[in-house]
Chains A and B, each alone.
Chain A
Amino acid sequence: MKWLPILLLLPQLLIIAIFFYWPAAHAVQSSFYLQDPFGFGSTFVGWENYADLFGSAEYRKVAWFTVIFTLLVTFLSLAIALLLAVKADNVLHGAKTYRTLLMWVYAVAPPVAGFIGLIMFDQTFGPLTRLFGQFGWDFVLGVNFNDTAFAMVLVSVWKQVPVNFIFFLSGLQSIPRSVREAALIDNRSGMSRFWDITFPLLAPTGFFLLITNITYALFDTFGVVDTLVKGEPGNNPMTLVYKVYVDGFRGNDLGGSSAQSVILMVLVLALTVFQFRLVERRIHYT
């Protein structure tokens, strides 16, 4: 009977092995080679692919952009969603309609969100381009690096706010009424009640969202980036994940892009360790 648990676990283990460990091992192996895309020839190059990446000023630039982009998207998505959730929590009449309308965008897929961004920021007829023009901002998507970056952040945040909103709202609603009422007696300032009582009690939700939002900004924004640069990166900003695609799938440089994915794997690993070791200890789930 010692084998029964293992037998029952086997299907799950197989799935993990086939779909996660095997490709990951393959990527690690490819990252030490330079190989012909068709698979005819390959040369073992050791750490050269990695050395090339770290030696490349462009790769470092892309990495920096990814860090700033991730911080901005995560912070703005969380902050805006929290604000909306707190406000929605106080709405008494028509609360359902209000909430439904706020969750609406949740169903939009990233490439579709990117496409909507393309329309809004079109160089000629984009309503937002025109709006910015009114304020003297000559916004040109796809030409100016910062303008394209702005559009990427805006679309990514817009797409993520509803998800965070749903979680924050349910987090708020699970705070016991008695706690809130007690706080109301002690402190009449809504602002400080929020920071002293509500915010700490929301911390588990907030922490969970922090991790999912970082992952979102790092990986799931691919569709937004791809659509907004129209598949032609040029001088536009891009994220690390998009660069893996550009070099591997457009450029057919399998070794180089494998090395890039291994770097991303290490990054995710670090993020996970950080999540479980450092922060989980300090956050108390009720």
Chain B
Amino acid sequence: MSFYKTASLGVALSMTAGVAFAETEITWWHAMGGALGDTVNQIAADFNASQDEYKITPVFKGTYEETLTSGIAAFRAGEQPNVLQVFDAGAATVIGAKGATIPVQDLLADNGVAFDINDYIAGVRYFYADTEGKMIGMPFNSSTPIMYYNADALEKAGVTAPKTWEEFQTTTAPALKAAGYTALAQSHLPWIFTENFMSRHNLPFATNDNGYNGTDTKILVNNDAIKAHFTAVTEWQKEGFFEWFGTGWGDNQSKFEEGEVAMWLGSSGSFGGLLKKDLPFEFSATYLPYWEGVTKEPTQTFIGGASLFAMAGKSAEENKATAEFFRFLTSADTQYYWHKATGYVPITEAAYEKAKADGHYTRFPAAEVGIQQLQMPAGDNTKGYRMGFYVQIRDVMNREYGRILTGETDVETAFKNIEAEANKLLARFAKTQS
């Protein structure tokens, strides 16, 4: 017996010795496929090469929704990754579950990584923060909707990119139509024509300060400004100024790439991909237009995209590794690399300055549009929104908007339905949080 005891003690000792010298391994579940995934892998490889104490392994888990669901299932089984990427619409779910994640601000402070929220660019500071303004999730791939345009088409039609929707419908669109183009398409109606419509015009999107101050929230989507917007969109559609190619993102983007559509509302994060495609025309981008009839002082848009959450239930060493990875990720060099490769906005002022100093925006003026739009004047309703079961609320919007644009329903009924179903979902979510 004593022999076995000694032997096992020896084995145990040698194992702890091994752990002490080995690097701490952490995992990162993300939803970045294709070229974006390659960039994510490159960042991880660079972090691993930059030091020999920690090693991060990125794992692609599918779409945003699939990644969040995998993360939740893993957490319930006690197998969660150290870092989980969660998209804007899932923020309420993950932030609502207190104890599922370590607020990133605490994680950094506990591990001696300096943190100042003012280092971050204005538009990204509070979207993933709690009521007190503490940053819970680390903004990662931050994007915002902007308007891309086919410069050749605009030149042919003799117009410039419109600043307001009034200009679009009276000047730009008719000229583009005469030149043989469909003037406009967009890729995400809930994100671009709803959430950011509210932000751009500084309109409240939900009660409780857009949902940040509690869960007994009601959505304020059924308002005259947005209904007038959708009525205008259906009129543009009839005139041949606007076309809708379905709920899928790519179906709408490809019509712009093919040159059929002259202007396309997409993500600032689409820039890198468009550049790589070597389109047969010159393209550039500008701000998301606004209605002058609604506001004379347009405000900034929300950040979209996703952020990184440090999952709870990990050892102190692993949390330290996660903190170090966040330090690396938010460094100006990494952010600039990410910004350059993908088109997502750099999340810190320092990285933005670096991009400017390097002449990135002289080479690609369109790459700066997203970050400039995020730094426009803020308003009471522009820091973001926080609503539970929001993925389903977006599904309801997509369904009703699709019905408006295929003539199955009218604007009034659609918005009534969205309001009723969204409020029902919000009330259901509130009950999950008790």
A: residues with CB less than 8 A from B are 34-43, 45, 52, 58, 123-124, 140-145, 229-236, 246-247, 249-253, 255-256
Is the Cβ of B406 less than 8 Å from the Cβ of A251? Answer: no
Q: Is B244 an interface residue (CB 8 A)?
A: yes
B contact patch SS: helix
Chain A residues near B416 (CB, 8 Å)? none
Which single member of A35, A232, A252, A256 contacts B247 (CB below 8 Å)?
A232
In the complex the two chains form, is A230's CB within 8 Å of B248's CB?
A: yes
Q: Is the CB of B402 within 8 A of A36?
A: no
- The closest CB in chain B to the CB of A142 belongs to B246
Q: Sorted from nearest, which 10 A-B pairs have the closest CB atoms?
A: A235-B402, A234-B247, A142-B246, A38-B97, A251-B392, A234-B398, A34-B431, A250-B65, A232-B247, A43-B431
Any A CB within 8 A of the CB of B98: yes
Chain A residues, Cβ within 8 Å of B42: none
Across the interface, which residues of B come within 8 angstroms of A141, CB to CB?
246
Return A229 CB to nearest CB of chain B, in Å.
8
A251 to B400, CA, bound (A): 17
Interface residues of B in 393-434 (CB under 8 A from A): 395, 398-403, 405-406, 408, 421, 424-425, 428, 431-434
A256 to B431, CA, bound (A): 12
Decide if A143 touches B69 in the complex (CB within 8 Å).
Answer: no
Task: Find out whether the CB atom of B428 lies under 8 angstroms from the CB atom of A251.
Answer: no
Number of B residues with CB within 8 Å of any CB on chain A: 47
Name the contact of A36 in the complex, choosing from B97, B392, B400, B405 (C-beta under 8 A).
B97
| Given the contacts A252-B68, A252-B69, A234 and B392 also touching, CB distance less than 8 Å | no
Q: Which of A38, A42, A124 contacts B254 (CB 8 A)?
A: A124
- Provide the residues of chain B in CB contact with A233, threshold 8 Å: 247, 395, 398-399
* Chain A residue at minimum C-beta to C-beta distance from B69: A249
Contacts of A255 in B (CB 8 A): 428, 432
Q: Which residues of B contact A45 (CB under 8 A)?
A: 431
Within the complex, what minimum Cβ distance (angstroms) separates A165 from chain B? 33
C-beta contact mask, B139-178 vs A, less than 8 Å → 1, else 0? 0000000000000000000000000000000000000000
How many angstroms from the CA of A232 to the CA of B191 in the assembled complex?
14
Closest to A249 in B: B69
- With both chains docked as a complex, state the minimum distance between the C-beta of B279 and any C-beta of chain A, in angstroms: 16
B295 contacts chain A at the CB level, 8 A cutoff = no
A residues less than 8 Å from B236 (CB atoms): none
From B96, B399, B428, A34 is in contact (CB under 8 Å) with B428
Q: How far is the CA of A123 from the CA of B405 in the complex (A)?
A: 17
Q: How far is the CB of A128 from chain B (nearest CB, A)?
A: 16
Output the nearest chain B residue to A251 by Cβ-Cβ distance. Answer: B392
Bound complex: CA A40 to CA B389 (Å): 16
- Name the distance in Å between A20's Cβ and chain B's nearest Cβ: 20
Partner of A250, one of B69, B399, B401, B403: B69
* Chain B window 235-262, contacts with chain A (Cβ cutoff 8 Å), 1 for yes, 0 for no: 0000000001111111100110010000
Find out whether the CB atom of A143 lies under 8 angstroms from the CB atom of B244: yes
Residues of B within 8 A of A230 (CB): 247-248, 250
Min Cβ gap B338→A in Å is 26
Query: Once the chains bind, are B392 and A235 in contact (CB under 8 Å)?
Result: no
Q: Which residues on B are within 8 Å of A, measured CB to CB?
A: 63, 65-66, 68-69, 72, 75-76, 93-94, 96-100, 244-251, 254-255, 258, 389, 391-392, 395, 398-403, 405-406, 408, 421, 424-425, 428, 431-434
Task: Decide: B406 and A145 in contact? CB cutoff 8 A.
Answer: yes
Question: Is there an interface contact between B433 and A249, defined as CB atoms closer than 8 Å?
Answer: no
B391 and A142 form a contact (CB under 8 A): no
Q: CA–CA, A37 to B399, complex, Å?
A: 24
Cβ of A43: which chain B residues have Cβ within 8 Å of it? 431-432, 434
User: Do the beta carbons of B406 and A143 come within 8 Å of each other?
Assistant: yes
A52-B428 contact in complex given A123-B251, A250-B65, C-beta closer than 8 Å: yes
Residues of A within 8 A of B389 (CB): 251-253
> B93 to A37, Cβ gap below 8 A?
yes
Q: Within 8 Å CB of B406, what residues of A?
A: 143-145, 235
Looking at the complex, which one of A39, A124, A234, A256 makes contact with B399 (CB distance below 8 Å)? A234
Which residue of chain A has its CB nearest to the CB of B243? A143
Chain A residue nearest to B246 in the complex (CB)? A142
- What are 13 residue pairs bridging A and B, where the CB atoms are less than 8 Å apart in the complex? A34-B428, A34-B432, A38-B94, A39-B75, A52-B424, A58-B399, A143-B245, A230-B250, A234-B402, A235-B400, A235-B402, A250-B395, A251-B391
Q: Cβ of A140 and Cβ of B246 under 8 Å apart?
A: yes
Contacts of A251 in B (CB 8 A): 389, 391-392, 395
Please tell me which one of the listed residues A35, A124, A140 contacts residue B258 in the complex, with CB atoms under 8 A apart.
Answer: A124
Q: Which residues of A contact B247 (CB under 8 A)?
A: 142, 229-230, 232-236
Closest Cβ–Cβ distance, residue B178 to chain A (whole Å): 23
Residues of B near A52 (CB, < 8 A) are 424, 428
Q: Could you say which residues of chain A place their CB within 8 Å of the CB of B433?
A: 36, 41
Q: Which residue of B is nearest A34, CB measured? A: B431
Cα A145 to Cα B395 with chains together (Å): 15
Q: Give A42's nearest chain B residue, CB to CB.
A: B432
Do B399 and A38 have beta carbons less than 8 Å apart?
no
Q: Do A38 and B431 contact each other (CB < 8 Å), given the known contacts A233-B395, A235-B406, A251-B395?
A: no
Q: Report Cα–Cα, A77/B48, bound state, in Å.
A: 55
How many Å from the CB of A142 to the closest CB on chain B?
Answer: 3
A250 to B389, CA, bound (A): 10
Q: State the CA gap A256–B428 with chains docked (Å).
A: 9
Partner of A40, one of B68, B97, B245, B392: B97
Quote the shortest CB–CB distance from A145 to chain B (angstroms): 7
Looking at B98, B246, B250, B392, the one whose CB has the most chain A CB atoms below 10 A away is B246
A118 to chain B, nearest CB (A): 10
